[in-house]
Amino acid sequence: LAKNVADDEPFGDCDDHAIWWCTTMLKSGLAEQAWFCFYTMIKKNSLEMSSHAVAVFKDKDGIYSWTDYRLPSSLLQDWHKWPYRSAETYDARPIAAVMFEIKEVKEDDTPVFGETTVLDVV
């Protein structure tokens, strides 16, 4: 993915962006924890459903942020609010959400998944 960015080539879809953010933030030392996350949302004015992947990370000051195709947005201490914040950008509301912790990044940039957290979204 980083090579594609450097070569001005297509980067991928939401899950590519999310895992890139997780591994980059951890490997650079800008985050002390990161999660590959996805959720299902329903549009507010219809019954159209879709799913989306985002990255959530916690920096060294304990501030949580989420990001997808955009620059990271702070969640302060409300780490569990990321599905709501992301869904708002699509005029939708979340109906299911899960987080997969990235417990380490191998030397070849391969993320290793750890604990899974299922969020209770209403």
Q: Give pLDDT tens digits for 9-52.
A: 877 899 999 999 999 999 999 999 999 999 999 999 998 999 99
Write down the pLDDT at residue 111: 96
Rg of the chain, C-alpha, whole Å? 14
Residues 47-66 have pLDDT tens digits of 899 999 999 999 999 999 99
8 A C-beta contact, residue 92 and residue 103:
no
- The pLDDT assigned to 42 comes to 97
For β-strands 33-43 and 64-67, DSSP reports them as unpaired
